[in-house]
Amino acid sequence: MRLVVENLAGDRGGEPVFDRVSFALSDGECLVVTGENGSGKSTLLRIVAGLLPASGGSVRLDGGGEEWPDVMSACHYLGDRNAMKPALTVAENLSFRQEFLGRPFLSAEEALEEVALPSVASLPFGYLSTGQRRRVAIAGLLVSFRPVWLLDEPTAGLDLGSERRFSALMRAHLEEGGIIVAATHVPLGIEGAKELVMGGDGRE
């Protein structure tokens, strides 16, 4: 499988934020997107996910076969918001994610074990602290399988131990042949990751 981005250009509110961004990632490869605030990291991820239209260039997924025809069908997108309902319990949130997305991978309990929060399953998501919420959202990446992970500031609000645990999860995903694109300004602790620096002037 190969995620190919060619000459991508994106805008926000009609104003161009970047153009001519190109990269290609094969199985087991990770791209870390860095750059200052407003350089278009989030916009880039959303365009790659297919949540925003690109103003130029193309994003495609080669070799996904019938099961993963495009990036959107093959990706987990972890945005700045956690996509969890505060009124529902953590277990309800995760099992909804699993049932709605299909391709179950880990059960909700196992996924919570992976982010070291096994005791919160029965609590409403709204009771959790910011860091805990983020970790539950990370557990959401594990309940159903997707080869491509698109992560927008995944470690925001995490403490050091959780960050380390999360890098281990990402490495495991890469070893299994997954693809990760992560926008961040803290090092994620992944050796051999490609790096893309988004300039303040919108150029790569």
Partner 1 sequence: MSDAATQPMRFADLANPTRFLELSGKVLPWLGAAALIVTAIGLAMGFAAPEDYQQGSTVRIMYIHVPFAWISMMCYMVMAVAALGTLVWKHPLADVSLKAAAPIGAVFTALALATGSIWGRPMWGTWWVWDGRLTSVFVLFLMYLGLIALTRALDDPARSARAAAIVTLVGVINIPIIKFSVEWWNTLHQPASVMRLDGPTIHSSLLWPLLISALGFTLMFFTFHIMTMRAEIWRRRVSAMRRMMAKRADRDAAA
Partner 2 sequence: MLRMVPLPRFAGEDLQRMLALYIRDLRLGVRAGGGALVGVLFFLVVITVAPFAIGPDMNLLSRIGPAMLWIGALLASLLGLDRLFQADREDGSLDLLIIGSSRHMMALVVFVKCLAHWTTSVLPLVVAAPLLALFMNMTFDSALGTALTLLAGTPAITFIGAAGAAVAVSLPRGGLLVTVLVLPLVIPVLIFGVSAAYAVTAEPDPFLPPFLMLCALTLFFAVIGPFAAGYALKHATD
What DSSP character marks residue 45?
H
- Letters for 61-100 (x = contact with partner 2 by CB under 8 A, - = none) are ----xxx--x-xx-xxx-xxxxxxxxxx---x--xxx-xx
Sign of CA dihedral 83, 199, 194, 29: positive
- From the list partner 1, partner 2, none, which binds 126 (C-beta under 5 to 8 Å, kind-based)? partner 1
Q: Nearest distance from residue 127's CB to partner 1, in Å?
A: 5
- Residue 39 interacts with partner 1 (CB under 8 A)? no
Backbone angles phi, psi at 51, to 5 degrees: -80, -20
Nearer to partner 1 by Cβ, of 61 and 120: the residue is 120
- From the list partner 1, partner 2, none, which binds 18 (C-beta under 5 to 8 Å, kind-based)? none
Contact 58, 191 (CB under 8 A): no
Euclidean distance between CA atoms 141 and 150, whole angstroms = 10
What DSSP character marks residue 60?
E
- From the list partner 1, partner 2, none, which binds 204 (C-beta under 5 to 8 Å, kind-based)? none
- Residue 151 interacts with partner 1 (CB under 8 A)? no
In the numeric block, the tokens 């994106």 are attached to 10
Options 28, 57, 124, 157; binder of partner 1; rule CB under 8 A = 124
